[in-house]
Structure 1
Amino acid sequence: MSTQLKTFDSVKGIVLSLGEEFARVCSDKSINFNREAGFAVQLLQESSYLLETAYSNPDSLRNAVVNVAALGISLNPAKKQAYLVPRKNKNGVKSICLDISYIGLLHLAQQTGAIYWGKAEIVRERDQFRMTGLDSPPEHAFDPFAVPDDRGQVVGAYVVVKTCDGDYLTHTMPAKKINDIRDRSEAWKSGQKGPWGTDYEEMAKKTVVKQASKYWPHRERLQTAIHHLDTDGGEGVEKDVTYSSGVIPEPKSDEATKALVAGLEEAAKSGVQAFRTAWAALAEQQKADVGLEERNRINRMAKAPQGEVIEGDAREVENE
């Protein structure tokens, strides 16, 4: 038996031994161990470097496969949600990492009820892009059959989502801010470049989705996935965001924030449009200080007759 075949059999055995642990931590019962194990083995079989990395660091392989269950995401190549990829940390140690695509992040957001629907897109300098208002999707016109160079350089990315209440939220990022985050990734700093060098557009879309998620209803699985990408995945963390346990920090509680909330509540008494205008006028940091739960509460107040607060929308308060 060849050395490579022995290596493959050993690594395959590790994957197939994880059924009990996989089932114990699985967050989505539609995720089937036998199928996911098959996808993992297929990925290992297709890449000799991935196989060698898994053989040299079996614990990282175990962690990556178990993370599939914990996050409730699939390695099915047809879905393009997640992959097993080799990584080197800053000390040069090779390991297997569960990489989650922007499609996977949007899937988690939909599955956990943070959003109803969403898509991310790249904007190039010859595209026609226009924001149409706070509560409507943007207009983005371009030739879908043109080669990227004909559309010009990348100038930014955006993600537009439809909330479970039927509202649209659009978040944009200029290329400079995307590249600032890229420059903090471990692979880029080490000179290897990694996925930022091979799949820039996919990484740009993932970056804007990660940033936009701060303004969606909090979901533990989604934020844990983002924390995993920023730390174990080494993708680069925004300077103004601290991820300590995969959970977004609680909104500040001080007099300035209380005054912001009071002003939004006053605007809400005049209806939805008045509230949305007041919200749009806030700086990004002020929105973060108010927090998503307060924003949703006041939004419900604006939609209710005579400013009455509506309590208990399960789609907003559910914490998975």
Structure 2
Amino acid sequence: MSNDLAVVTNDIYACREAFQAVLAEPTLNFDREANFAIQILEGNSYALKVALQNRQSVIDAVTNIASIGLSLNPAKKQAYFVPRKGKICLDISYMGLMDLAMSTGSVRWGQAKLVYESDVFELNGVDQPPTHTSKPFATDRGNVVGVYVVVKTADGDYLTHPMSIAEVMAIRDRSEAWKAYVKDKSKLCPWVTDLGEMTKKTCVKQAYKYWPKTDRLEKAIHYLNTETDEGLKLAPVSAAPVSDPVLSQYWTSKAAASSTLDELQSVWVSGLAAINAAKDMAAYEQFKAACFDRKAALLKAQEEGEAA
């Protein structure tokens, strides 16, 4: 072991008590995570150099592993140590966010998928997963045109959040890391080296606003918003967001007036797109409730008609 690595190794093992004090996931083992951290730094000479220059950042990163509750285990692909702006940061992958959402009970199941030009992607009914058909082994599926995240909540509801590639690139373009790359192509960033993963991660971060909240998921999202420069921060909003009553009333009225399940499905798809574009969470909740109420009423009427 080199002298440099030995110095950082001592720093990492000195974190044991701090790690245990904030441990959020009982299955995480300090010695295993410390070993993963050391392996990462041993295999990346630049990261090791940054770690030596900012030893406190290594301590902070190790502590963040415990407080957020994700592992550096490379087999799980949940989180990584990366050098960024002169310090070692804990980087959370989209898979880490999804695993966190499922393990904390925010959702029962979920996945993020890219949509290519040759794919067929359609939003379905109010509480149904989308339809996504593709030819995964085709030699040319065309360019990526969008991305979506679909989850199943503890109540059994399916929630789907789609984003066009243009929406994702607009977020990328606000990234300090991307701006630095544009100025100097030698300054590679995740938007260059891992574009597909960053596209999914962006969609997960946008979609989570509609999921039931848990403390650890909130902490992970807050960490990404404040400690990274990937461009994943949401546009600034006021401290107390105000819902648009016209938008909410229009789409809830359309849902209540639907006379068939097919008509309600059409209203759901159109209304969801409009409300997502407006980023109006209050309107979304009201619209979703109206759609579920109307669906229940239509199903009941259908059952009564069949019984008559």
Q: Work out which of the residue numbers 58, 61, 65 in structure 1 matches 2:62.
A: 65
Describe the superposition over 1:254-291 as per-residue Cα deviations: whole angstroms up to 9, x where unpaired.
Answer: 9x399759x58x959x9x99998876636233741347
Confirm whether residue 214 of structure 1 aligns to residue 209 of structure 2. Answer: yes
How is 1:1-320 mapped onto 2 (pairs within 5 angstroms)?
Answer: 5-88=2-85, 94-147=86-139, 150-191=140-181, 192-237=187-232, 240-242=235-237, 252=242, 256=245, 260=249, 267=256, 281=271, 283-284=275-276, 285=278, 287-290=280-283
Between stretches 127-136 and 161-170, larger displacement belongs to 127-136
Percent identical across equivalent pairs? 46
Instruction: Give distance in 2, aligned partners of 1:217 and 1:274.
Output: 28
* Contiguous gaps of at least 5 residues in structure 1: 89-93, 244-248, 306-320
Partners in 2 of 1:287 and 1:160 — Cα distance?
Answer: 19
TM value normalised by structure 2? 0.81
Deviation at 1:304, TM superposition (A): 9.0
Whole-Å separation in 2 of the counterparts to 1:297 and 1:135: 11
- Contact 2:70/2:96 (CA < 8 Å) preserved in 1? yes
The verdict on how the C-alpha distance between 1:217 and 1:275 changes in structure 2, with shifts beyond 3 A counting, is farther
Decide whether the 8 Å contact of 1:251 with 1:291 is kept in 2.
Answer: no
Change in 2 beyond 3 A, CA 1:133/1:302: closer
Report the Cα offset of residue 45 of structure 1: 1.2
Q: Please, which runs of 5 or more residues in structure 2 have no aligned partner?
A: 182-186, 298-308
Report the count of equivalent residues.
289
Q: Distance in 1 between matches of 2:118 and 2:291?
A: 36
**Contact 1:159–1:209 (Cα < 8 Å) also in 2:** yes
Letter paired with 2:10: G
RMSD of aligned Cα (Å): 3.3
Q: Aligned-pair distance for 1:144?
A: 2.1
Determine the C-alpha separation between the residues in 2 that align with 1:104 and 1:162.
Answer: 17
Partner secondary structure for residue 104 of structure 1: helix
1:2-34, CA deviations, whole angstroms, 9 ceiling, x for partnerless residues? xx8110000011111101000111111111111
After TM superposition, the runs of 4+ consecutive aligned structure 1 residues lying more than 4 A away are 257-261, 272-280, 294-305
